[in-house]
């Protein structure tokens, strides 16, 4: 088993686990941090911690749940230590000016506004639903893959995705 080999110090086995679970870890970090680069850095930190703590995992069959818990705790610790700083009015104006100089300013503004509204709607979803929908849509995970990733029954994952879609439609005024 891959986890047992990684627990024994097999770095290539751990690298394969990192590749397999990268989407889940990145989505967990991004859902809270809201910054792609910082989420990437945090995901690397999570995998470093996982590598160091992996020998303490008693049941290798629980690796996915263990990693998810480690990712959630690490992300929450980082988020509470360094809350995101809001943009000042000048920074916001500068950002909009840059976007306007790169093309149609109205289209750029509307795209940015849609992203802001979608992000706010996503933040209102329960964390499990948010992670499921982000991985399903942004990372192209199937419900079967998500069930394996989170060590949850398929029906649970399908329910989370369905509820998240319905919640987003309601929040965004599409249904």
Percent over 70 (pLDDT), the chain: 79
3-class SS letters over the chain = CHHHHHHCCCHHHHHHHHHHHHHHHHHHHHHHHCCHHHHHHHHHHHHHHHHHHHHHCCCHHHHHHHHHHHHHHHHHHHHHHCCCCCCCHHHHHHHHHHHHHCCCHHHHHHHHHHHHHHHHHHHHCCHHHHHHHHHHHHCCCCHHHHHHHHCCCHHHHHHHHHHHHHHHHHHHCCC
CATH of domain 2-81: 1.10.1740.10
pTM as predicted: 0.54
Q: Residue 109: is its pLDDT beyond 70?
A: no
Fold of 104-172: Arc Repressor Mutant, subunit A (1.10.10)
Average pLDDT of the chain to the nearest whole number: 79
Structural domain spans, the chain: 2-81, 104-172
Q: Residue 42: is its pLDDT beyond 60?
A: yes
Q: Residue 139: is its pLDDT beyond 60?
A: yes
Mean pLDDT on 38-48: 90
């Amino acid at each position: 088993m891959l986890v047992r080999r990684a627990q024994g110090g097999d770095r290539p086995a751990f690298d394969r686990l990192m590749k397999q679970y990268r989407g889940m870890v990145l989505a967990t970090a991004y859902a809270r941090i809201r910054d792609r680069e910082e989420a990437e850095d945090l995901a690397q930190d999570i995998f470093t911690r996982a590598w160091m703590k992996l020998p303490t995992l008693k049941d290798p069959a629980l690796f996915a749940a263990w990693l998810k818990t480690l990712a959630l705790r690490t992300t929450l610790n980082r988020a509470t230590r360094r809350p995101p700083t809001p943009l000042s009015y000048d920074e916001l104006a500068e950002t909009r000016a840059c976007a306007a100089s790169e093309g149609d300013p109205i289209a750029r503004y509307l795209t940015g506004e849609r992203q802001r509204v979608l992000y706010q709607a996503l933040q209102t979803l329960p964390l499990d639903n948010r992670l499921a929908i982000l991985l399903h849509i942004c990372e192209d995970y199937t419900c079967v893959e998500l069930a394996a990733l989170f060590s949850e029954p398929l029906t649970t994952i399908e329910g989370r995705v369905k509820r998240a879609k319905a919640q987003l439609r309601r929040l965004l005024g599409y249904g």
